[in-house]
Amino acid sequence: MGNLTLLHALVMITTRSRPAAPAWITTALLGLGAALVSAAAAEPAPVTLAEVKRQVLREQAVLSGTTIARRRAALSPKVDGLVTELFVDAGSLVDADDPILTLDDRLEAHNVEAAAARVQEAAADHQDAIRIRDELLRLKEGRHASETDIRSAEARVDMTAAALAAERAALARAEEIQRRHRLRAPFAGMIVTRHLEVGEWAKRDEAAVELVALDVLRIRATLPQTDFARVTRGAGATVQFDALPERRFRGEVFARVASGDARSRTFPILIDLPNPDRLLAPGMSARVRVDLAGGEAEVLSVPRDAIVAKAGGTREVWRVQEEDGILKAYPIEVETGRAGGDRLEITAGELADGDRVVLLGNESLQPGQTVAPQPSAPQPSAPRPDAAETVALD
């Protein structure tokens, strides 16, 4: 860079001098400039290299989507009542059957006690009826009891048994009503909204809390109509989130919804994603790669960043080759095909499996320029939304 700046200064001095400089001075300056350019070109350019690979690619649809809760419930008690206990708040994690709130159930507790007493009374009547019937049956053997008395005793046993069953049902009903004064979690998850406080009146048709399951989340994405027939239930999906860009998650297609948007010609697709560590939450933006049926092929590929787009619409890569122990870079015109994650398929060009190409530092190279490879960790490119592409099979 310093040599080029010096050359620029010399040219400016030559062109702006008044009167015009002698011809020999101009020739000398131009010769010096050419020497400086040659020296600059001879300096090794620091670059990062990548390898041309032959690999099997699977075609995928790359989509954008949003996480939603697979299970979401607005919970309310089954009866109206005064809130006496509240066990959760927004953000609380609960397991299935954990208590949420309790309503004042003192009146129902009295009803349960009364119903239990009636059950005891009915049970005593029933036992007494059985005793009388059995006694009459013994008297019948000595012909001291009439058939009518025995039939009446047996009828009374049946009636007291029915009365006992009715009282037991009434007790069960009272106990159920008392249980309905306690609201419990129907499934494990997180309380995301709480609408009541202790001392407030709860109604059975108004939500007290909102519960969201977090063990498995669902992603709703839009699928182009061209890929609708190629996505099947159970197809694999790789998901990345802006909130966790360094992580990749694996899920599977739950369903494709046959109700498309007439303007965009897209269809909803639902993808279930396990979330055992609760790192993800509903509302996060997601970039999804869904496996498409068919379309596996072995191709030659290079990293996306190795491709240099030229002004005329052509594309090239800088291939590095060794000459007399020195690494030099030369441009190779190529044509690209499908994308596979952070790599592009090479459909035409003088490249072979194992060739080395410049990944970073290819913007200002000169043909035949010496290069100095620099170590660098690979940086995967972000998926491009709403485009069909392929990925390399692991």
Domain edges within the chain: 2-42, 45-57+296-392, 61-71+213-291, 72-101+184-212, 105-180
Mean pLDDT on 361-374 = 79
What pLDDT band is residue 95 in, cutting at 50, 70 and 90?
A: very high
Mean pLDDT on 340-356 = 78
The interaxial angle of helices 2-16 and 23-42, nearest 10 deg, is: 160
Task: Supply the mean pLDDT for the chain.
Answer: 82
Residues with Cβ within 8 Å of 372's Cβ and at least 6 positions away in sequence, in order, are 44, 45, 46, 47, 327
370 versus 99: the higher-pLDDT residue is: 99
Q: What is the CATH number of domain 61-71+213-291?
A: 2.40.30.170
How is residue 380 annotated by DSSP? P
Mean pLDDT on 332-360 = 79
pTM of the model: 0.60
Contact 319, 351 (CB under 8 A): yes
What pLDDT band is residue 160 in, cutting at 50, 70 and 90?
A: very high
How is residue 145 annotated by DSSP? S
Q: Domain 45-57+296-392 classified CATH 2.40.50.100?
A: no
What pLDDT band is residue 2 in, cutting at 50, 70 and 90?
A: very low
Contact 209, 83 (CB under 8 A): no
Q: Is the pLDDT of residue 378 over 80?
A: no
Contact 186, 71 (CB under 8 A): no
Residue 218, amino acid: R
Residues of the chain above pLDDT 70, percent: 82
Helix (H, G, I), strand (E, B) or coil at 120: helix
pLDDT at 362: 77
Mean pLDDT on 278-299 = 85
Mean pLDDT on 186-200 = 95
26 versus 297: the higher-pLDDT residue is: 297
CATH class of the domain defined by 72-101+184-212: mainly beta
Helix (H, G, I), strand (E, B) or coil at 34: helix
What pLDDT band is residue 23 in, cutting at 50, 70 and 90?
A: low
What pLDDT band is residue 367 in, cutting at 50, 70 and 90?
A: confident
CATH class of the domain defined by 105-180: mainly alpha
What six digits make up the tokens of 393? Answer: 């099979």
pLDDT at 32: 53
Mean pLDDT on 7-31 = 51
Nearest to 201 by CA among 85, 106, 80, 90: 80
The tens digit of pLDDT for each residue in 261-279 reads 889 899 999 999 999 889 9
Which neighbouring-strand residues pair with 283? none
pLDDT at 3: 47
Highest mean pLDDT among 250-254, 317-321, 323-327: 250-254
The tens digit of pLDDT for each residue in 124-154 reads 999 999 998 888 888 877 667 788 888 898 9
What six digits make up the tokens of 78? Answer: 């089954």
pLDDT at 18: 47
Nearest to 58 by CA among 388, 294, 288, 382: 294
Q: Is the pLDDT of residue 156 over 70?
A: yes
Mean pLDDT on 301-308 = 81
Backbone conformation region of residue 341, classed left if phi is above 0, alpha if psi is from -120 to 50, else beta: left
pLDDT at 390: 43
Distances (CA, A) of 117 to 29, 161, 164: 118, 16, 11
100 versus 260: the higher-pLDDT residue is: 100
Q: Is the pLDDT of residue 10 over 50?
A: no
pLDDT at 275: 92
